[in-house]
Chain A
Amino acid sequence: MARTLFILVSLLPCSLLVISFVRESFSLELLLVASVFYLSLFWYLHRHARHKQTLASLTEVLNRAASGELHHRATHTKEYGVAGEMAWAVNELLDFVETYFKEVKLCFIRVNKQDFSREAKATGLPGDFSESLESINQAILAIKENLSFTEQNSLTSQIHDINLQSLRADLFHSESDVRSIQADIADVDQIAKENSEVAKESSASIKQMSANLHQSTEQITLLQRKTEALSEASEAVFKALNLIGDIADQTNLLALNASVEAARAGEAGRGFAVVADEVKKLSNRTKDTAAEVHSVLGSLNQQVDSIREATSSSSALSFEVTEQLDDFLQLFNSLELSSAQTSDKVALVVDHADSAVERIAQVIFKQNVYALLEEKITRSECSGLEVQMEEIRAKAEEFSGACQSLADLAIQYVAAEASISGDALVDKLRRLDQPV
């Protein structure tokens, strides 16, 4: 409609010229006016076409930029007024945008290769563009620090792994060491018990021996007394023998006197002299017999003396032996006592060793659970974990409540049954590990 009106209006001076020509009223002024009109119209249309062209190329540049190609620009826009200014505004905006994106891209290409030397150059870019690039530089710095931290972390983690492995091996050895100590202690207990038994038996035999010895000592004392009585009796016999000797001497003297008297009496006394002689012989025989008995008794006395000596020395000896036996008895009693004490102590040590083994086993179990958790956290692929989890489930029943809860937590975490965050996991582990 507007287009038709425009054509009609633009045809108006032309038709005016034709009409004036037909009516023969044509004038040079009219031609001049019409020419000026058409020249201005042509200039206007030409300029309009260039504006349209500039705007079209601007549209093209913007469309390409929208499709991701930021490198196109609108050129040859000099002296095209508002359209030209607009083109420059768009060009300069695209300059900033393209420079910005190039900086970001080139930085991160290097950052991806772990080269942090290429910082984004914010100089010359206005406002938000340069601020954003500065932030990116800070972020790159943070990535760099993070990377070195991660490398550090990975290193310490590797060392921790090695440590953990050797710790587990050491614990395992400690456990088996303590178990062999337990076995040795059981042997010691057995030996102590046997010692105690032997000491008991020995002290019974010594008691018996001591009793026997006491009896024999008493008998020896009795023998001693009897020997003394024998000795006393032989003294009495000596006295009696001396008396017999004296009587024999007097009888002999009497017989001598009688024979003297018989000789004086002569013939009458001859018979008496024979009797006196016989009495004399009898007294001599008596005296001889007494002397013989004296000598026999002397040797008997010697025998008795040697018996007395033997019994007294054997009495002293048996006294000594009795004392020694008493010492022995005391020794065996204290041996029995110390064996019993050893046995008690050993029982205590066995208890301690038992609890040490249990504790070490718990520590090994916990280490295994921690290792499992670590493996789950650090590795995305955990094919063997299912089997290990089953082992843990089975093993957990041997242990305390804390260990069982730990195992439950680990199994839940590994099987992702409960959605526990890392912090929550650490928190729960801490609470489980606190000494009650």
Chain B
Amino acid sequence: MLAQPLSNCSEVLLNGDDLIISKTDLKGRITYANRTFMRVAGFGEEDLLHKPHNLIRHPDMPKGVFKFLWEELRQGHEFFGFVKNYTADGGFYWVFANITPDFDAQGNVQGYFSVRRRPNPDAIKVIEPIYQKMNEIEQRHSPVEACKHSLAFLNQLLEGKQISYERFVMQLQSR
């Protein structure tokens, strides 16, 4: 039932019924993490609460993906995507993340809600080289321009397949 960290720098695999849930405030600081999150990532509650969510961000993740994520959330949309995260002991785990805005009773956005599920292993095989390519592009450009160029590459790729980003990741996950 529990996902066991194998060793340092090794991958932690999620179980099919694992549901990693966390919440952040509007600035991306963690306000809640469930026990699955703590178990998989290897952090205690006190290590996570009030810390920025990019605490667990893995360097293999292109910045462009997060820029796209925040743009989507700002427009009130939900975001789907494959994300590689750090564990506390330097290992990593892949998730299929769904992030949505949280509304209070008055309908104002008061934070974000993130649910991460076990990703389709075949999807990771497809998305990993894409992220690598995006990282290479980002490294070739200045930090200010990096995201713009890596996202342009992603959009070009999707246009070639004549598919939207969301359809693309959903199809990968359900394949």
Chain A interfacial positions (CB closer than 8 Å to B): 67-69, 71, 73, 75-76, 78, 88, 91-92, 95-96, 98-99, 102, 106, 117-118, 121, 123-126
Stretch with Cβ within 8 A of A (4 or more), from B1-9, B44-52, B84-92, B133-141: B44-52
In this assembly, does B122 line the interface, its C-beta being within 8 Å of a C-beta of chain A?
A: no
Chain B binding surface, main DSSP class: mixed
The answer to whether A88 touches B167 (Cβ under 8 A) is no
B93: shortest Cβ distance to chain A, in Å? 14
* Residue ID in chain A nearest B14 by CB atoms: A124
Say whether A124 contacts B104, CB under 8 Å: no
Cα-based distance from A73 to B118 in the complex (angstroms): 24
Task: Name B residues whose Cβ lies closer than 8 Å to a Cβ of A.
Answer: 16-19, 21, 23, 31-32, 34-35, 44-46, 49, 78, 98, 100, 102, 104-105, 110-111, 113, 115, 117-118, 166-167, 170
Chain A residues with CB under 8 A of B115: 99, 102, 121, 124
Partner of B102, one of A71, A78, A118, A124: A71
- Residues from chain A with Cβ under 8 Å of B17 in the complex: 123-124, 126
Chain A minimum-CB-distance residue to B46: A78
Known contacts A98-B113, A106-B100; A125/B34 CB under 8 A: no
Question: Given A76-B45, A106-B78, do A92 and B117 touch, yes or no (CB 8 Å)?
Answer: no
Q: Which of B23, B49, B100, B166 contacts A117 (CB 8 A)?
A: B166
| A75→B38 CA distance, assembly (Å) | 13
Tell whether A92 pairs with B113 under 8 Å between CB atoms, given A106-B100, A124-B17, A124-B18: no
Give chain A residues whose Cβ lies under 8 Å from the Cβ of B166.
Answer: 117-118
Q: How far apart are A373's CB and chain B's nearest CB, in angstroms? A: 44
* 30 A-B residue pairings within 8 Å (CB atoms): A69-B105, A71-B23, A71-B102, A71-B110, A73-B31, A75-B31, A75-B32, A75-B45, A76-B46, A76-B49, A78-B44, A78-B45, A78-B46, A92-B34, A95-B19, A96-B19, A98-B113, A99-B21, A102-B113, A102-B115, A106-B78, A106-B100, A117-B166, A117-B167, A121-B117, A123-B16, A123-B19, A124-B16, A124-B19, A125-B19
Report the Cα distance A76→B49, complex, angstroms. Answer: 9
- Would you give the shortest CB distance from B23 to chain A, in whole angstroms? 7
Contacts of A91 in B (CB 8 A): 32, 34
- Tell me the minimal C-beta distance from A85 to chain B in angstroms: 11
Interface of A is mostly: loop
- Shortest beta-carbon distance, B25 to chain A, in Å? 11
Please, how many angstroms separate the alpha-carbon atoms of A95 and B167 in the complex?
26
Contact of B32 among A68, A73, A96, A121 (CB under 8 A): A73
A125 closest partner in B (C-beta): B19
Decide: A88 and B104 in contact? CB cutoff 8 A: no
Chain B hits for A96, CB < 8 A: 19
C-alpha spacing A91/B49, complex, angstroms:
15
* Closest residue of B by beta carbon distance from A122: B117
Q: How far is the CA of A98 from the CA of B32 in the complex (A)?
A: 13
Is the CB–CB distance between B35 and A123 below 8 Å?
Answer: no
Contact B34 A123 (CB under 8 A): no
Q: Which residue of A lies closest to B15 (CB)?
A: A124
Please report the C-alpha to C-alpha distance between residue A68 and residue B167 in the assembled complex, in whole angstroms: 31
Instruction: List chain A residues, Cβ under 8 A from B100.
Output: 102, 106
Chain A residues within an 8 Å CB radius of B49: 75-76
Q: Which residues of B contact A95 (CB under 8 A)?
A: 19, 21, 34
Residues of chain A within 8 A of B18, CB atoms compared: 124
Q: Give the shortest distance, in Å, between B94 (CB) and chain A (any CB).
A: 14
Contacts of A102 in B (CB 8 A): 100, 113, 115
